[in-house]
Structure 1
Amino acid sequence: MKTKPHILWLALLSLNFGILAGCSDDNDNDNNPVDPTPPVSDVGVDISEATTLSAQIEAVNIDDKTQASVDFYLSNANGVAVIGLDKLDSIATLGVGIAKLGQPQPLLPNKDAVADYNTKDQMAEGKEWISYINNEVAPGSGAGTKAATEWQASIETSCKLDCIENLGSGHYRYTFSKALNGYSQFEGLDTSYDANATTRIYLELLPSSDSDVTKKLINITYDFVPATGAVAKADEGRQLIDPQQSCYRCHTADLGDTEHRLLMHGGKRFNFEGCVMCHTTYSGDPETGNPIDMATLVHKIHQADYKIVGHGGSMHDYSGVNYPGEIADCQSCHISDAATQAAQYYIPGNNSCLSCHKDKISQAPNTWNGTAASLFHDRELFPNAWANSCAGCHPDSNNPKGASLIHDQLLQTRSSIKDLYGMSLSAVTLDTDSLTAAIDFNKLNTFPAQNNAIKALWLVVNGKPDELTRPANNGQHKLWDISKDSSATRGMLPSDQVSLSMDGSKLTATISDVNTADFGTPAAAVVKAKMIVCANHNTMTAVNCDSDEADTQVEVMSANALDLTGANASRAIVADESKCQACHDSEMQQRIVDAHTLAGSAATNANFAPGNDKCGSCHNPVSATALTDGSCNSCHNNDTVAYMGADIYHTAGADHIKSFRTANNTLNYREMVHSLHAGTRTVKGMGAPRDETTYPQSAANCQACHDAGQLDFAGLKKENSQLVATVGATADGQVTELSPTVATCAGCHSKVADWAGHAREFGGVVEDNASAGRIYKAGDETCYYCHAEGQAYGVIKLHKEASQK
Structure 2
Amino acid sequence: MVKSKSNLAKILLSVIMAASIAACGSDGKDGAQGPQGPEGPQGPEGPPGAGGGNVVTTVERFSDASFDLDPADVMIAPDTEFGITFNMMGKNMSGSDLPFSGLNLVSIYYAHVKDNDTDFGSAKQWVPHQTLYCQPGGGTVTIRGTKHDACTLTESEEMPGTYMGTWEHDGPAPIIMDGVDQDLTHRLFFRAYNVTDSMGNAISEKVLSKRFDFQPSSGDMVDDTGKDTVMDAACIACHGDNDGTIAQIHAHRNYQSTEACVACHNPALKASDDAFAAGWEFDLPAMIHGIHGNNGKVLSESIGYPAELKDCTTCHTNEADSWQTPFAEACVACHISTNPFTGENHGNNIQVANDSTCSSCHGSGGLSPVEAHRIGDRAESEKALMLDIQKVSADVAAKSITVEAAMMVNGAAPADDFDLTPYMSNPGRGINWGQVMANGDIMRSGQTLNVITNANNNVTATLSGGVLTVTRTGLSDAAVAMLTDGNLYLMSEVQVCATDGMLVTCADNPGRTVANTAATVYWNLANADGSGALMSRWEDDMRSTVTEATCNSCHENLTHVKGSHGVTRFNQCMDCHNNTWAGSKHSDVKYKDADGNEVVQAVKFYNRDLSTVAHRFHNGQWDSPGAVYRETDGSSSSLMGYPSPENDCTACHTSFNLFNDNGDLASGKGAIAASDNTSTYYISPIAEACRNCHVSASAQAHFSSNGAVLFEDMNTDPNIATESCAVCHAQGKTYGVDVVHNK
TM-score (norm 1): 0.67
Residue-by-residue CA offset, 1:571-603 (whole Å, 9 max, x unaligned):
1123212111222221x334433xxxxxxxxxx
1:649-660 residue pairs with structure 2 within 5 A? none
C-alpha contact (below 8 Å) 1:295/1:355 kept by paired residues? no
Aligned residue for 2:382?
418
Shift of 1:297: 1.6
Aligned residue for 1:145?
none
Query: Matched residues in 1 for 2:172 and 2:524: separation?
Result: 73
Aligned residue for 2:565?
622
Aligned residue for 1:249?
237
Aligned residue for 1:459?
431
Shift of 1:788: 4.1
- For residue 445 of structure 2, the aligned residue among 476, 486, 493 is 476
C-alpha contact (below 8 Å) 1:501/1:508 kept by paired residues? yes
Query: Matched residues in 2 for 1:513 and 1:797: separation?
Result: 53
1:389-404 residue pairs with structure 2 within 5 A? 390=359, 392-394=361-363, 403-404=368-369
Shift of 1:157: 8.9
Shift of 1:292: 0.3
Aligned residue for 2:737?
795
Aligned residue for 2:109?
97
SS in 1 for 2:263: coil
Shift of 1:469: 12
Query: Matched residues in 1 for 2:286 and 2:109: separation?
Result: 22
Query: Matched residues in 2 for 1:237 and 1:389: separation?
Result: 20
Say whether 1:281 aligns with 2:260: no
Say whether 1:699 aligns with 2:685: no
Number of positions where the alignment pairs a residue of Structure 1 with one of Structure 2: 644
Shift of 1:493: 2.0
1:95-134 residue pairs with structure 2 within 5 A? 95-104=107-116, 115=118, 117=119, 126-133=123-130
Aligned residue for 1:146?
none
Letter in structure 2 aligned against 1:200: R
C-alpha contact (below 8 Å) 2:66/2:89 kept by paired residues? yes
Query: Matched residues in 2 for 1:529 and 1:734: separation?
Result: 31
Letter in structure 2 aligned against 1:750: V
SS in 1 for 2:275: coil
SS in 1 for 2:210: strand
Residue-by-residue CA offset, 1:24-58 (whole Å, 9 max, x unaligned):
98999xxxxxxxxxxxx985756646665321122
Query: Matched residues in 1 for 2:680 and 2:721: separation?
Result: 22
Query: Matched residues in 2 for 1:181 and 1:793: separation?
Result: 53
SS in 2 for 1:76: strand
SS in 2 for 1:164: strand
Residue-by-residue CA offset, 1:435-461 (whole Å, 9 max, x unaligned):
233323463311475155632572121
Letter in structure 2 aligned against 1:571: S
Aligned residue for 1:109?
none
Specify whether residues 664 and 206 from structure 1 end up closer, same or farther in structure 2 by C-alpha distance, changes over 3 A only: farther
SS in 1 for 2:183: coil
Aligned residue for 1:631?
574
C-alpha contact (below 8 Å) 2:728/2:735 kept by paired residues? yes
1:7-406 residue pairs with structure 2 within 5 A? 43=50, 48=57, 53-58=65-70, 59-65=73-79, 68-77=82-91, 78-85=96-103, 88=104, 91=105, 94-104=106-116, 115=118, 117=119, 126-133=123-130, 159=148, 162-167=151-156, 169=159, 170-175=161-166, 192-208=179-195, 211-213=201-203, 217-232=207-222, 234-244=223-233, 246-253=234-241, 261-262=248-249, 264-265=251-252, 267=253, 269-286=255-272, 287-289=274-276, 290-303=280-293, 318-335=300-317, 339-341=318-320, 343-361=321-339, 365=342, 380-381=349-350, 390=359, 392-394=361-363, 403-406=368-371
Residue-by-residue CA offset, 1:83-110 (whole Å, 9 max, x unaligned):
343xx4xx4xx221111111337xxxxx
> Could you list the runs of 5+ residues in structure 1 that have no partner in the other structure?
29-40, 106-114, 119-123, 136-153, 186-190, 309-316, 369-374, 594-620, 645-658, 726-731
C-alpha contact (below 8 Å) 2:187/2:214 kept by paired residues? yes
Query: Matched residues in 1 for 2:211 and 2:314: separation?
Result: 25
Residue-by-residue CA offset, 1:717-767 (whole Å, 9 max, x unaligned):
652355566xxxxxx96999743322222222112x414454344432247
SS in 2 for 1:478: coil
Pick which of 269-278 and 248-257 moved more.
248-257
Q: State the superposition RMSD in angstroms.
A: 4.8
Letter in structure 2 aligned against 1:65: D
SS in 1 for 2:338: helix
Specify whether residues 572 and 263 from structure 1 end up closer, same or farther in structure 2 by C-alpha distance, changes over 3 A only: same
Aligned residue for 1:147?
none
Shift of 1:514: 3.9
Query: Matched residues in 1 for 2:711 and 2:585: separation?
Result: 16
Aligned residue for 2:670?
719
- For residue 675 of structure 1, the aligned residue among 605, 612, 616 is 616
1:764-779 residue pairs with structure 2 within 5 A? 764-766=708-710, 768=712, 770=714, 774=716, 777-779=719-721
Query: Matched residues in 1 for 2:243 and 2:620: separation?
Result: 21
C-alpha contact (below 8 Å) 1:421/1:441 kept by paired residues? yes
C-alpha contact (below 8 Å) 2:229/2:316 kept by paired residues? yes
Query: Matched residues in 1 for 2:574 and 2:202: separation?
Result: 45
Specify whether residues 23 and 679 from structure 1 end up closer, same or farther in structure 2 by C-alpha distance, changes over 3 A only: same
Query: Matched residues in 2 for 1:277 and 1:297: separation?
Result: 14
C-alpha contact (below 8 Å) 1:666/1:724 kept by paired residues? yes
> Could you list the runs of 5+ residues in structure 2 that have no partner in the other structure?
29-47, 133-142, 539-543, 588-599, 631-639
Residue-by-residue CA offset, 1:114-152 (whole Å, 9 max, x unaligned):
x4x47xxxxx963111012399xxxxxxxxxxxxxxxxx
Aligned residue for 1:500?
462
Shift of 1:782: 3.8
C-alpha contact (below 8 Å) 1:303/1:321 kept by paired residues? no
Aligned residue for 1:606?
none
Query: Matched residues in 1 for 2:381 and 2:113: separation?
Result: 41
Aligned residue for 2:33?
none
Letter in structure 2 aligned against 1:705: C
Specify whether residues 405 and 631 from structure 1 end up closer, same or farther in structure 2 by C-alpha distance, changes over 3 A only: same
